[in-house]
A and B are shown apart, each in its own frame.
Chain A
Amino acid sequence: MILFKQVHKHYPGGLQALKNVSFEIAKGELVFLTGHSGAGKSTLLKLIAAIERPSLGMVIVNSQNVGVLKERALPYLRRNLGIIFQDHKLLFDRSVFDNVMLPLQICGFDYRESHKRVRAALDKVGLLKREKSQPIALSGGEQQRLCIARAIVNRPTILLADEPTGNLDAEYAHEIMAIFKSFHQVGVTLLISTHDESVLQNSGARVLALKHGELHQ
């Protein structure tokens, strides 16, 4: 499903974010990506969504080489991915409902069908009662869950989450991990980055550990 072959990424100015990273994630797998901040976790996730391109090596997602994908093919790649951003990237000029609606509008979904899907996604993350609220009125944990709802409303086959429990207290973090596990159970491929070792305990999932841009499996 996701394949990295000797991937290097350096930024202008000499920063070496990833060095010779190779791994493979099978369909339906749940994988954690760990490492201290600045280890290259975000960069790795951005390479999968083609927000960044590798300097060397190959990144293959759904048997597409995303490193060399044309600009106008990018939207269709991203529609198959659900991305949960570290900084949420919510739109504060519209309601909770409309935030979750956006991916469906972009894909040109039927009006009635999309309403059903938005409600289902909000229900899944426990925000159905807040659908008319403005995102600014939500707590940190709720904003994170809203971001998850937006990522899954499109029913993607791959879900990428960048520090989804980053600044949440333990109880919220636990809730969110439970949501991810339920996606894993229905066959979604998940790659979750975290610097919080506690969430890994007795998860039984595979861990990819990044250290200064290098992979230690």
Chain B
Amino acid sequence: MRHALTQIIGVMRRMFESRLAGGLSILVIGIALSLPAGMYVLLKNAQGLVTQLSGTPQISLFLNMDAKTEHIDKLRKQLAEHPAIDHAEFVARDTALEQLKQSTGLSDVIGGLNQNPLPDAFIIHPKRGDAEVLGELRDELAKLPMVELAQLDSAWAYKLEALLKFGRMMVLILAILLSLALIAITFNTIRLQILTQRDEIEVAKLIGATNSFIRRPFLYFGAIQGLLGGVAAWFIISLSLLLLNWQLSALSALYSSQFTLHQLSPGDSLTLLLFSMYLGWMGAWLSVARHLSQIEPR
């Protein structure tokens, strides 16, 4: 344990000695990681917005104009017994007209009509909110007798949701590509290090160093560089969000609403750091496996 610590300190000293080149590698890793991770944060924020705006989705059921009270009662009973429906709210056509008069200020125009053009309606609150279930429920309700039209109110939210899925896929692809880039960067850094420390490796082998003893400092280096790259990415994202929020506050004030982008959660931050550390380790491991065996003392 003490031994590992000595080696880690040695690695850190070596990193500090070549801090300019090392700093640049760390910055490159940070930028590469901040792209997918930053997009992930924005998507997560958008996701939160969608849930907040759409609330629980509803289905509006407009009835046939010549639906009689007994039809309505029968329908009400059917809806109440339906397993997928939480509760259904009846809006009589006269109530709907009243509401329309009050909310739009069109009372003059509406007053000029000789009959109420609005149908009776039910507002259905389903038990579950997934897009598929709701679609099926709407189709089923549309086929009920005396139902003219069944309309899914939050269809737009589902469209946005689909768009977000698309975005998430893009983040995933980007993350995979840039992870490979990170592994490649570490691979190359370690390759150069092995070349410059060729003498040391050779001597160490001659005086009885095991392969794992020689390998370890390089793996530590990869992991530490990856971790620092992750820290850089974290700062890039946090700073960017801070700047965006600053602009956003001006914008949302104009719409007299309050909307701010959330920062990376502690859990997500930890994942980012561990993941980048792991990738660094991985790149170093590949490089060491490839290059160390080529150095044999003569």
Contacts and interface: CB of A to CB of B under 8 A. Distances in A.
Interface of A: 49, 51, 72, 74-79, 83, 85, 89, 91, 93, 102-103, 105-108, 111, 150, 154
Contact of A75 (B203, B208, B298): B208
CB-CB nearest 10 A-B residue pairs:
A79-B208, A78-B208, A106-B209, A75-B208, A75-B210, A103-B207, A89-B203, A108-B3, A91-B200, A51-B297
Contact of B208 (A85, A91, A107, A111): A107
Contacts of A89: 199, 202-203, 206
B207 A150 contact: yes
A102 B206 contact: no
A83 B199 contact: no
A44 to B, nearest CB: 15
Contacts, number: 50
Contact of A105 (B6, B205, B297): B6
B286 interface: no
21 contacts: A51-B206, A51-B297, A72-B210, A72-B211, A75-B208, A75-B209, A75-B213, A78-B207, A78-B208, A79-B208, A85-B206, A89-B199, A91-B199, A91-B200, A91-B203, A93-B200, A102-B204, A106-B208, A106-B213, A107-B208, A154-B207
Contacts of B211: 72
B2 interface: yes
Contacts of A78: 206-208
Nearest to A109: B3
A83 B3 contact: no
Nearest to B3: A108
Contacts of A105: 3, 6
A83 B207 CA distance: 8
Nearest to A151: B207
Given A93-B200, A108-B3, A102 B207 contact: yes
